[in-house]
Structure 1
Amino acid sequence: MASLLFNSLILLNFILFPISKLEIGWRNKSQTTADIEIFVELQQIFHQPSGNREGCSTDIPLGADKSGKILKVVVDTNDFDEYEFRLFMDGVPLDAYMEEHKQRYNAWIIERLGSKLKLVFDGNQENMFFRGQNIETEKTQPSFEVSVWEGKFKEEYTFRIVKTLEGMGQLTAVLYVNGEKN
C-alpha cells in the first residue's frame, strides 16, 4: 500500500498539469523475460471554480482488466489557496481503507532453506493463502480468549495460527510452521 501512495503522489503532478496519457512500466516477477506495461489515461472529470476554490478529480480503475477497485484522486484547494490531495479506494478514504485491510489480514514471511514465502490469513473468511493457493482451514476455539486455525499445504507445511485476546481487547496472532514458532 505504501507503493500505491507513492505512485499516487507522483500522479499529483500529472493531475495538476494534465496530460493525455501516462505510461507506467514494471517487470512482472512471475515472467522473467517479458516487460508488462500499464497505460493509465488521466482525464479531468471537472476543473471548475467554486467560490475561490478550484478542484479536480480522476477515477483510476485498478487491476489487469480494469474491473477491480477504483482509486479516486482528488485535488482541491483550501481557503488558503493551498492544494489538498486526497485518495479514496472504492469511495473510502485511503487511510481508513488501509486500516481495515491491516485488521482483516495477517501476513507472515516464512524462510526455509534460503527461500522466503508468504502466508496470508484472511480474518473475515477465516482461510489461509500460501503460494497463491487457498488452503483448507479448520478452526477450533479451546477457550474464550484463544482461537486456533490449522491448515496443511501438500505434505510440506503444516500451519497453525493462534490468536489470543489480551488486555484492552488486543488480539495477537502467532504462526507455527511444522510445530515451530515462526
Structure 2
Amino acid sequence: MPRILIQACCIATLFAVPANSQEALDAPKHIDTQVAARIPTRIALRSERFQGHEVVVLRRPLNEGGDIIVLSGPSITPKRLAAAAVFLTSVRESMGDDVAKVSMIPVPYTPGVDAMAVDIKAAGRSLTKLRTAAHQDVPRIGSVQMMTIYLPSSTGREALRKRGIVDFSKGRGGRAGLSS
C-alpha cells in the first residue's frame, strides 16, 4: 500500500498545475521572440595576449560554437569589453551573423567613442563574473575563463534601428544591447 501511495504522489506532482500556469504557457512565445533577437556570444579571458593582440574577435560558424571575444590581460576594463561588443555587433551587421570559416579580427579601441554607459555597466557585471569563472581549455585559444553574453542578431539590430536606438549599418558608436 505505501508503494502505491508514493507512486500516486509522484504522478500527482508531475501533473500539478501551479496558480500562475498561464504565465508559464505564454513565456515560451516571448522567450522565442527574444532569443531570435539575440545571439549567444562567448567571451574569454586569457592571462597573456592572444597572437599579439589585447582584444580580438574569433569569428566561428554558429555550428562550431559561434563567435568569441578574446580579452587578454588584467588591464581589461568594462569600457574595453563594451567597445568589443559594439565592434562585433557592427561586424555582424556588415558580414552577417554566421560565417562559413574561422577568422580572427583584432578589435580597435578608441576611448569614449565605442560604447554607451548602459553597455559599460552591463560589461562591468559580465567582467566581474568572467574573472571568477573556472578555467577551461578551448581549441585555438588555450586555457581561459569563459562565459556567455547575448548580442543582438539581425532581427534584434533591426528592432533597435526601428526604435531609433542605434543603426549598426553606420559603423561604431551605439548601444550594443549587451546582456548576460
Q: TM class by shorter-chain length?
A: under 0.3
* TM-score, normalised by the number of residues in structure 2: 0.22
Instruction: Pick 1 or 2: higher relative contact order, CA cutoff 8 A, min separation 6.
Output: 2
Q: More strand per residue: 1 or 2? A: 1
Larger proportion of helix: 2
Q: Which structure is larger by alpha-carbon Rg, 1 or 2?
A: 1
TM-score (norm 1): 0.21
